[in-house]
Amino acid sequence: MAITTCIFDAYGTLFDVTAAARQAAQEPEFPHLIDHWAELANHWRLKQLQYTWLRAITNAHTDFWQVTQDGLDWAMEATGLSGDPQLRKRLLDLYWQLQAYEEVPEMLRTLKAAGLQTAILSNGSPKMLEGAVDSAGVGGLLDDVLSVEAVGVFKPAAQVYDLVETRFSCQRDEVLFISSNGWDAAGAAGYGFTTAWVNRGGEPMDRLPWTPHHVLSDLSSIPKLLGT
């Protein structure tokens, strides 16, 4: 069956999760971040993901904003920056204004012009996602923004992927799911979606029972992948 619906993960896929730390490091108030921002950003992202998995398997759900704060606190302590509440506040404020990757707007425009349905499916809370979409100016290019808060568990739980079929009344094999997280693309492949892993960092393939159907270096080739 032909693909009718393109579903995107948000953080790290459409929106650059390193942008908050990188921007703060360029601001005169935080010169001590210049040599540590990349390490901080990596720790922050990893802990953010680890906490979603741990909360999912222990039935201890909270929203992604709490997970984001918890991950940042761990990352700041790990990099010797935990005694700077001004920096913490600035980083959290910037997380609501993450930049979209440069290829995102044109890619989405091409998909919409071809008549495809487009949406976000994210661990992010609705308010966080609203802020990111508005900041990036891509709201008019998306048919919906779906959050795991509707089911109260984080990806890759099957209940999350169920949201796509419910919202768009489509079959699983009509969906192309795109994520920058290899485990997410693999999990969605196991669920029955066609998946593309946007492997921006050239990471090894995760050792899981399923693998993504496509591996891309960025999002610019998505329209070509679909023949649009």
Q: Which sequence positions are flagged as catalytic?
A: 9
Show Cβ contacts of residue 81 under 8 Å, excluding neighbours closer than 6 positions: 32, 33, 36, 40, 87
Contact 38, 109 (CB under 8 A): no
Q: What is the CA radius of gyration of the chain?
A: 17
Which two tokens mark 21? Answer: 């730390």
